[in-house]
Structure 1
Amino acid sequence: MQTDVDPRNLIGRKAFDRNGTKIGTIDEVYLDDATGVPEWAAIRTGLFSRDAFVPLEPSELVDGTLRVPFERSLIKDAPDFGVGRHLSPEQELQLYHHYGLDITAPPGPDATFGHIAGAEEDPT
């Protein structure tokens, strides 16, 4: 994803899967505490649904929407860690494995992933 995008500007944007099917609305963005780089987005998948974590890399910001290169069903089945808390290195590894993504080096023992909370709004 573009590195010059302010992660706060992602909150509230619509997200679509690889086929152009709407996934939902970005509620929160999780940053790597060590680098400050946006790593994950929590997407509200429906009015009464939970948030699903998606990786921001290899996702793309296209015409003001987040395009996630995975099927909606895979996204909705992502591990649920709740939102509003840090992601532990173990949780991040679970997410990487869920999406079949390879990471070159596992996060260090002190790596945590903070978040930028989004405004509460109707995700549809």
Structure 2
Amino acid sequence: MQTDIDPRSLIGRKAYDRNGHKIGTVDEVYLDDATGVPEWAAVRTGLFSRDAFVPLEPSELAENGLHIPYERALIKDAPDFGVGRHLSPEQELQLYRHYSLALPPAPSESPDTDFGHLAGQ
């Protein structure tokens, strides 16, 4: 997804599955803690329904809404953690697994000072 998009501009947009079927409306956008880049969206799937979390990275924003490259059934079966709360690392891991996404690299504790070990030590 384009990284120069204001996350607030996604809220209220219609969301569509890979076949162009309407899934619902973007309710919330979740940013990556480390980078501040929009990473997940919670899509309200119906008037009395729940929110389905969808990944923004493989999704595309068009004039008519957010197009998510997954089947409607997979999206509607996504874990629902409720909106308005921070996603824990465990919840994010569940979402990565649900969508069969490659896991992001683990952050290094001190990347500037880790030079490895000398052979033989």
TM-score class, shorter-chain normalisation, is: 0.7 to 0.9
Change in CA separation of 1:44 and 1:108 when aligned onto 2, cut-off 3 Å: farther
Change in CA separation of 1:32 and 1:104 when aligned onto 2, cut-off 3 Å: closer
- Aligned 1:63-102 pairs, distance under 5 A: 63-102=63-102
Instruction: Give the 3-state SS of the residue equivalent to 1:52 in structure 2.
Output: strand
Residue 13 of structure 1: aligned partner: 13
Structure 2 distance, partners of 1:2, 1:59, is 9
Amino acid at match of 2:9: N
- Aligned 1:1-124 pairs, distance under 5 A: 1-106=1-106
Given that residues 11 and 26 in structure 1 are in contact (C-alpha distance below 8 angstroms), is that contact kept between their aligned partners in structure 2? Answer: yes
The structure with higher relative contact order (CA 8 Å, sep 6+) is 1
Change in CA separation of 1:69 and 1:107 when aligned onto 2, cut-off 3 Å: farther
Give structure 2 stretches of 5+ with no counterpart: 110-121
Deviates more, 1:3-12 or 1:61-70: 61-70
Q: Name the one with the larger strand percent.
A: 1
The percent of aligned pairs where both chains have the same amino acid is 79
Structure 2 distance, partners of 1:35, 1:97, is 21
Runs of 4+ aligned structure 1 residues displaced above 3 Å come to 106-109
Structure 2 distance, partners of 1:64, 1:33, is 28
Name the count of aligned residue pairs.
109
Q: TM-score, normalised by structure 1?
A: 0.83
| Residue 106 of structure 1, CA deviation | 3.8
Amino acid at match of 1:63: E
Structure label with greater radius of gyration:
2
Give structure 1 stretches of 5+ with no counterpart: 110-124
| Residue 107 of structure 1, CA deviation | 5.9
